[in-house]
Amino acid sequence: MANVNIKINGMPLSVPQGSTILEAARIAGIRIPTLCYLKDINEIGACRICLVEVKGARGPVAACVYPVNEGMEVFTNTPKIQKNRKTELELILSNHRRECLSCVRSGDCELQALCREYGVEDETRFAGANPVEDIDDTSPHMIRDNSKCILCRRCVAVCRQYQDCGVIGPNERGFATHIGCAFDQGLGEVACVSCGQCINVCLVGALYEKDGTAKVWEALADPTKHVVVQTAPAVRAALGEAFGMPIGTDVEGKMVASLRRLGFDKVFDTNFSADLTIMEEATELLERVKNGGTLPLITSCSPGWIKYCEHYYPEMIPNLSSCKSPQQMFGAITKTWYAKKNEIDPKNIFSVSVMPCTAKKFENTRDDQSAAGIPDVDVTITTRELAAMIKRAGLDFVNLPDEQFDNPLGEGTGAAVIFGATGGVMEAALRTAVEWITGEAGGPIEFNDVRGTEGIKEAAYTVGGLTVNVAVASGLANVRKVIEMIKSGEKNYQFVEFMACPGGCVNGGGQPHQPGEVHNTVDIRGERAKVLYSNDAARELRRSHENPVVKAIYDEYLEKPGSHLAHEILHTSYVARKKY
């Protein structure tokens, strides 16, 4: 692509033709502030914070959408522009409920940060009507508080473009404009899949997960409760960000140490039940391939994908693996095998999961998730909620020692830890399935074709005379593309991995917030995924069927993968749900 010559603040630059002023300024090392802008997601110039002056233009232009051209002269930081930005911030605050001290995003709010940067002192200069909006708490996973919404439309864009749901959008017009569902229904009344991607991109406190920490604190203080916690693979790849550590820092040991200091009786690892999931899912795949079952088999680890399937593609329910997710399998084993082995009444076990995912809050409310006659998992908290608990407890997270998970349910293989990245479930299943098909130990470990953060990946593997065509997709817009190709007959897969969140669980709706500027310039998903693959590579055991605790549970309790008892405890069912 050809370059054009421009000047920004008097500095001559040669930048790619077609670049926006915002992109050109970044090349020059000049930061232009934004609020509504998210690269490739929400490029609409609505917030007007990124206004700059262009020589010869009639007035300021929005840098995020205005293309450069030959000879252009741009000024990003003139007194006029600074005044415009400050005034725009004051206007945004005019109908924003300013309760920063009690806001869930206080200290982590992009609007608050810009107001501080531009010296906004009089928050009420344009104070007028400040309607108190109803709180939407109809969904099991999140709360919408439109009194704090600034109409940036990031949430609308990610719901429609990335997640293919489009269940929210601007309602009414003018001063009455607000973000909501059609006919102002609650999120719990529409086909929302609980993925939480809208929370991830919200820059203020208008969207946040339902807080489960109060129940956890209560259980920790109850001497009659045996409180156990499991942590998902992706949590260790992102938790450190909440404490100022670089993106891509593995904090597994510090995470374990902090949970132990919070008072949990046992600190376990969801990696254990990820291995268990592979044992059941690989068995299910081979049975369907050999016996003419419904194909392709589609993974069931992502509750956001499962809910999407139930709402939008109920005809694909027979393709779903009947395996519970690793979160639910862990809870089921804890309240059956673990309870029996330790002579604990399952009713006295309080099972907590720490997940990168808000849809997990919905998942543990589903029917057929109670192997012991009580919920498999009692409370799910997100990575963000765990960080809040650690801070409230006064723990110096960064300087905590590295500690190990408790036994026996703290044992996991490398195959399990990569579950948190798109393609990880597929790769873990292939590691086991190849050995089972060939009957030979020492099969391939790394399946690079299904790695990476691309939205859709395909591969074909021939093992023992059997060819398996596989596909991996993350982000529900990509999932739709693959499903449509399957339905039309364009593609013929035997095994498919779907994850609701783009990039997989490392980019889950419950992970630490990162500002738009970081989203626009850093491959957050890729950096977090590197943690999991490095963790995998460093482990001695890298195949799920090598997990000694999983072997023991089958020997002592479940008999074999796919047994009748395994189905009662580790498998579940699905229901068709309304689309509108």
Cα–Cα distance between 246 and 428 in angstroms, integer? Answer: 27
Given a cut of 80, whether residue 122 has pLDDT beyond it is no
* Residues 234-291: tens digit of each pLDDT: 999 999 999 999 999 999 999 999 999 999 999 999 999 999 999 999 999 999 999 9
* Residues 50-86: tens digit of each pLDDT: 999 999 999 999 999 999 999 999 999 999 999 999 9
Helix and strand tally (H, E) in the chain? 20, 18
Cα–Cα distance between 78 and 158 in angstroms, integer? Answer: 33
Coil, helix or strand for 332?
helix
Tally of residues, the chain: 580
Residue 471's pLDDT band (cuts 50, 70, 90)? very high
What does the DSSP assignment read for 365-429? TSSS--TTSS-S-SEEEEHHHHHHHHHHTT--GGGPPP-PPPSSTT---HHHHGGGSTTHHHHHH
Cα–Cα distance between 444 and 397 in angstroms, integer? Answer: 38
Burial class (CB in 10 A: 0-12, 13-18, 19+), 376: buried
Chain centre distance of CA 152: 21
Residue 544's pLDDT band (cuts 50, 70, 90)? very high
302: nearest Cα among 102, 576, 500: 500
Q: pTM for the whole thing?
A: 0.96
* Residues 191-248: tens digit of each pLDDT: 999 999 999 999 999 999 999 999 999 999 999 999 999 999 999 999 999 999 999 9
Domain limits, CATH 3.40.50.1780, in the chain: 214-570
Coil, helix or strand for 45?
coil
The residue whose two tokens read 């088999």 is: 297
Domain 93-209 has CATH 3.30.70.20: yes
**CA triple 335-359-233, angle to 5 deg:** 65
Amino acid letter for position 441: A
Given a cut of 80, whether residue 2 has pLDDT beyond it is yes
Adjacency order of strands within the sheet including 297-298? 297-298, 495-499, 466-474, 456-463
Cβ atoms of residues 378 and 350 within 8 Å: yes
Residue 174's pLDDT band (cuts 50, 70, 90)? confident
Adjacency order of strands within the sheet including 142-145? 135-136, 142-145, 207-209
Please state which of the four CATH numbers 3.40.50.920, 3.10.129.10, 3.40.605.10, 3.10.20.740 is assigned to the domain occupying 3-77: 3.10.20.740
Residue 175's pLDDT band (cuts 50, 70, 90)? confident
**CA triple 416-294-557, angle to 5 deg:** 45
Question: Which DSSP symbol is given to 98?
Answer: -
Mean of pLDDT over the chain: 95
Domain limits, CATH 3.30.70.20, in the chain: 93-209
Coil, helix or strand for 219?
helix
Cβ atoms of residues 579 and 191 within 8 Å: yes
DSSP3 helix / strand / coil % (the chain, rounded to 5): 40, 15, 45
Given a cut of 90, whether residue 107 has pLDDT beyond it is yes
- Give, for 156, the enclosing helix (H) or strand (E): helix 154-157
Residues 6+ apart with CB under 8 A from 173: none
pLDDT at residue number 130: 67
Residues 6+ apart with CB under 8 A from 195: 163, 304, 357, 358, 359, 476, 500, 501, 509
pLDDT at residue number 392: 97
Domain limits, CATH 3.10.20.740, in the chain: 3-77
Cβ atoms of residues 459 and 437 within 8 Å: no
pLDDT above 90 coverage of the chain, percent = 92
Given a cut of 90, whether residue 543 has pLDDT beyond it is yes
Given a cut of 70, whether residue 334 has pLDDT beyond it is yes
Task: Say which CATH topology domain 214-570 has.
Answer: Rossmann fold (3.40.50)
**Strand runs labelled E in 28-79:** 51-54, 61-62, 73-75
Given a cut of 70, whether residue 481 has pLDDT beyond it is yes
Question: Which DSSP symbol is given to 505?
Answer: G
- Give, for 451, the enclosing helix (H) or strand (E): none
Query: Measuring CA to CA, how many Å separate 491 from each of 376, 424, 459, 569?
Result: 37, 21, 12, 34
Crossing angle for the helix pair 476-488 and 303-312, to the nearest 10 degrees: 50
Cα–Cα distance between 407 and 338 in angstroms, integer? Answer: 11
* Residues 419-432: tens digit of each pLDDT: 999 999 999 999 99
Crossing angle for the helix pair 252-262 and 383-392, to the nearest 10 degrees: 60
* Residues 445-461: tens digit of each pLDDT: 999 999 999 999 999 99
Please tell me which residue, 550 or 96, carries the higher pLDDT value. Answer: 550
Cα–Cα distance between 476 and 160 in angstroms, integer? Answer: 10
